[in-house]
Amino acid sequence: MDWTVIPKNLGFLFEGLIVSFQLAGLTLALALPLGSIIALGRLSSRKWIYYLTSAFVHGLRANPLLLIVFWFYFLVPIIIGRPIGDFTSVLIAFVVFYSAYFAEIVRSGIQSVGRGQIWAGYSIGLTYFQTMRYIILPPALRRMVPLLVTQTIILFQGTTVAFIIGLKEFLHRTSLVSERTLKSFELYIFAAVVYLVICYSGSFLSRRLEVKQ
Amino acid sequence: MSMDPPIIQIKNLSFWYGDFKALDNINEEVRKGNCIVICGPSGSGKSSLLRCINGLEKFQQGDVIVDGIGVRNCTDFPKLRSNIGMVFQHFELFPHMNALENITLGPRKVKGKSKKEAEEKGLELLSRVGLSDHSHKHPGNLSGGQQQRVAIARALALEPKVMLFDEPTSALDPEMIGEVLDVMLDLAKEGMTMLVVTHEMGFAREVADEILFIDEGRIIERGTDESFFKHPKNPRTKEFLDKILM
Amino acid sequence: MVEREIPEHGFPLHCRFSRIQLIMGIDYDFRWSLLWEDPYGGWLIDALLVTVHLALLSWLFALAIGIVIAVFRVSPVKWLRIIGTSYVEVLRNIPFLVQLFFWYFAVPTLLPRAWMLWWNQLPSANYWTAVVALSIYTSTRVTEQIRSGIHATPNGQYQAGLSIGLSYPQMYRYVILPYAIRVMIPSMTSEFLTIFKNTAFAMVITVPEITFTAKRIENWTFQGIEAYTFASLVYVLTTFSVIAFMGWVERRLHIPGMIKKE
């Protein structure tokens, strides 16, 4: 067993980790707002908005992430008319896909604030927006945070899927080094440990947040 | 007997909840300063009636006019509702705010009062319901009876012309019912117009100007004095009263 | 209406929309008949079978492993509990693809030379690797759901059962399992659907399931929309059928008032 293969390639592998973080971070920054808007649509009393957003959410959640990545990788260049980079097409796929999951978290967070609270808000004369802002969102957000953190960890694990269209993120680079040096055991254990440490810290944080409530 | 127009007029009110007809052609007039008690079996539509009055439920037929504002075609619900205070069975205090904040939210955001003004009034109301020392406590640290009294103060903070009470003591432990009923009795004696859905017949006997018995969405019987309890005219009323009166 | 040439095999598809001008004036020729033409139709049917087979087999193993680990986790023996908890905590926090690559690339190198040679020449080595990886990954989630199913029995019910003198096996049969099963149905349904979608990952080690086949068709014919639509339909229809079926099962088993909904 030759563990020196890891320090020798650390720089190269680490660059891949940065790409993974970039993909995860940008996806989070875009998918969460998009998901929140869709969640409001899912709660709308206007039928067409409800059906449209529900179809969006259910349709996306029924598909594997990998297939959605292929869809966008194929379609976006056709629609835009020219090829676009790996990172961009994967990012678009990820944002659309994960917004469906964030939408459900936000929706259930808002719905978890009971009807009675909404009535109480209205009964003291608050408008829809005031009720949202002062009565519904504060407890809803507090409830959502652990779930959002969990979903972000899932998202981070999902960045490995970008491998398939050639994005040189952490897993891809691990496999490249492994092919070159044939030290696959050491390298994949290392990759596993890195992900383990990152994701475990994340879920530890999520549990702490849950307890704090 | 006041000759002003009644402060609440309910005309041919019907309300469907999906396919279920929750209220069937309700007619009633409430004069200023009166206390109306509404009783009936569960599912009879009593709570729905209150929620139709302040527009929390959108009814499909008839109309309700509160202090001159029609509810059915109301365009300014905040204005309508700032004239109507509502107290809920499960208190519905906002858990992330303390007692004083619960009370001052309405006056500050709806009536535009300053924080100082609202807090002064809020503390006054808290002492009126006997909870001056609890202004900075969160609902989680208050007993049921205390929460409900804060809820009454919250509703009063908007200086409403009418107060609606939806089974205010049903969710309380027996030893706390009294403290809430006392506050309500004081309010009635001070001349507040009140509609109270309740099973507390002792309260009804003491302050009600009229009692309505509602079953299956209809007003079955009205009474204005002791004869309602002793000699109810309708057999369904008698059946219900037998069950709840000891 | 655009007349299309009649291909050598298969039948012609006259389609009003056979040529579409998408945004920016890009043309895309639709050729839906592709999906049942030779050899693509055959590929898709085989892929469907592979996907279903992979999902079901892995699901069974995941359940078996999950039950064992769940037993470890509620065991009175401290070491078993530690093993169980570590198993779950470690494997939940490593992405599935990493685990898959580990089993596919790394583990064979550990085998004694003779075994490794035998394994590498197996034609469906990649398939069985996928089964192992998928089963183990999913078992970590299944075990959590089993645990919460067992804990779903309200404390009062548990005490009532003990107080009428039931033995532990009887407790499981009459008190714990009725709650456990009803609570677990929704989460198990969701887990099965997850494993069904996760079969797509197997394509990276060239297992010919649906997503792999769709990509292959796209590589061969450039008709990506048709191929991916078929793949998406497989997943979407499976998802909705399973949800509908399990909803029916849940309703059949439903006892009013038993599981208190918030």
pLDDT digits (tens, 9 = 90+) for B159-174: 999 999 999 999 999 9
- The whole-number pLDDT of residue C8 equals 40
CB A150 within 8 A of CB A83: no
- What are chain C's partners, defined as 3 or more CB pairs within 8 angstroms? A
CB < 8 Å from B in window 1-30 of A: none
Closest CA of chain A from C33, distance in Å: 20
Higher pLDDT, C184 or B196: B196
Lowest mean pLDDT among A14-23, B126-135, C173-182, C219-228: C173-182
In the predicted structure, residue A185 carries a pLDDT above the cut 60: yes
Give the three-state DSSP class for C131: helix
> How far is residue C117's CA from residue B194's CA, in Å, rounded to a whole number?
88
- The whole-number pLDDT of residue C255 equals 76
Lowest mean pLDDT among A21-25, A57-61, B197-201: B197-201
Contact check, Cβ <8 Å, C96/A64: no
Cα–Cα separations (whole angstroms), residue B81 to A45, A181, B78: 22, 74, 5
- The whole-number pLDDT of residue C260 equals 54
- The whole-number pLDDT of residue C76 equals 84
Buried-state track B142-153, b at ≥16 Cβ within 10 A, e below 16: bebbbbbbbbbb
Residue (of C100, A167, A159) closest to A176 by Cα position:
A167
Kindly report whether the peptide bond that precedes residue C39 is cis, defined as omega within 30 degrees of 0. Answer: yes
Q: What angle do CA A199, A200, A201 make, to 5 degrees?
A: 90
Closest CA of chain A from B234, distance in Å: 34
Burial class (CB in 10 A: 0-12, 13-18, 19+), A175: buried
> How far is residue B202's CA from residue B207's CA, in Å, rounded to a whole number?
9
Contact check, Cβ <8 Å, C90/A196: yes
The residue assigned the tokens 């002793």 is B230
The fraction of chain A above a pLDDT of 70, given in percent, is 99
Return the sign of the alpha-carbon dihedral for residues C223, C226, C229, C235. Answer: negative
- The whole-number pLDDT of residue C15 equals 39
Contact check, Cβ <8 Å, A171/C203: no
**What is the per-residue pLDDT across A71-91, written as a single tens digit (0 to 9) for each?**
999 888 887 777 788 889 999
Give the three-state DSSP class for C112: coil
**Chain A partners of C198 at a C-beta cutoff of 8 Å?**
64
C10 touches chain A (CB under 8 A): no
**What is the per-residue pLDDT across A34-44, written as a single tens digit (0 to 9) for each?**
999 999 899 88
- The whole-number pLDDT of residue A143 equals 87
The residue assigned the tokens 């961009």 is A88
Contact check, Cβ <8 Å, B84/A130: no
> How far is residue C97's CA from residue C175's CA, in Å, rounded to a whole number?
40
Contact check, Cβ <8 Å, A117/B81: no
Q: What angle do CA B179, B182, B188 make, to 5 degrees?
A: 150
**Chain B partners of A138 at a C-beta cutoff of 8 Å?**
96
- The whole-number pLDDT of residue A213 equals 60
Q: Which amino acid is at C129?
A: T
Tell me what the pLDDT averaged over chain B comes to.
90
Confidence of residue B88 (pLDDT cuts 50, 70, 90): very high
Residue (of C248, C235, C214, C262) closest to C34 by Cα position:
C214
Contact check, Cβ <8 Å, C231/A67: yes
- What are chain A's partners, defined as 3 or more CB pairs within 8 angstroms? B, C
Average pLDDT over residues B208-215: 91
Choose the mutation target among C96, C98, C205 for the interface with A, i.e. most A CBs under 10 Å. Answer: C98
- The whole-number pLDDT of residue A107 equals 93
In the Cβ-directed half-sphere of A182, how many Cα atoms lie within 13 Å? 3
Could you write out the three-class secondary structure of chain B? CCCCCCCEEEEEEEEEECCEEEEEEEEEEECCCCEEEEECCCCCCHHHHHHHHCCCCCCCEEEEEECCEECCCCCCHHHHHHCEEEECCCCCCCCCCCHHHHHHHHHHHCCCCCHHHHHHHHHHHHHHCCCHHHCCCCHHHCCHHHHHHHHHHHHHCCCCCEEEEECCCCCCCHHHHHHHHHHHHHHHHCCCEEEEECCCHHHHHHHCCEEEEEECCEEEEEECCCHHHHCCCCHHHHHHHHHHCC
- The whole-number pLDDT of residue C54 equals 95
Contact check, Cβ <8 Å, A200/C93: yes
The fraction of chain A above a pLDDT of 90, given in percent, is 56
- The whole-number pLDDT of residue C167 equals 81
Spans of chain C below 50 pLDDT? 1-19, 261-262
Contact check, Cβ <8 Å, B94/A120: yes
Q: Which two tokens stand for residue B121?
A: 């009034």
A160 touches chain C (CB under 8 A): yes
Closest CA of chain A from B96, distance in Å: 7
In the predicted structure, residue B19 carries a pLDDT above the cut 80: yes
Average pLDDT over residues B58-87: 90
Confidence of residue B112 (pLDDT cuts 50, 70, 90): confident
Average pLDDT over residues B106-111: 88
Of B54, B93, B109, the CB nearest to A123: B54
Of B79, B88, B111, the CB nearest to A120: B88
A41 touches chain C (CB under 8 A): no
Nearest CA in chain A to B159: A124
Of C22, C225, C235, the CB nearest to A64: C235
- Residue spans of alpha helices (H) in C74-176: 78-92, 96-101, 107-110, 113-120, 125-150, 155-163, 168-170
- The whole-number pLDDT of residue C2 equals 38
In the predicted structure, residue A125 carries a pLDDT above the cut 70: yes
> How far is residue A24's CA from residue A91's CA, in Å, rounded to a whole number?
9
Kind of pairing between the strands at B35-39 and B210-215? parallel
Contact check, Cβ <8 Å, A117/B92: yes
Closest CA of chain A from C68, distance in Å: 23
- The whole-number pLDDT of residue A182 equals 85
Closest CA of chain B from A114, distance in Å: 9
Q: Which amino acid is at A127?
A: T
Tell me what the pLDDT averaged over chain A comes to.
90
- The whole-number pLDDT of residue C1 equals 36
CB < 8 Å from B in window 88-117 of A: 116-117
Kind of pairing between the strands at B193-197 and B162-166? parallel
Domains and CATH numbers, chain C: 13-250 (1.10.3720.10)
Domains and CATH numbers, chain A: 5-211 (1.10.3720.10)
The residue assigned the tokens 């690559």 is C101
In the predicted structure, residue A129 carries a pLDDT above the cut 50: yes
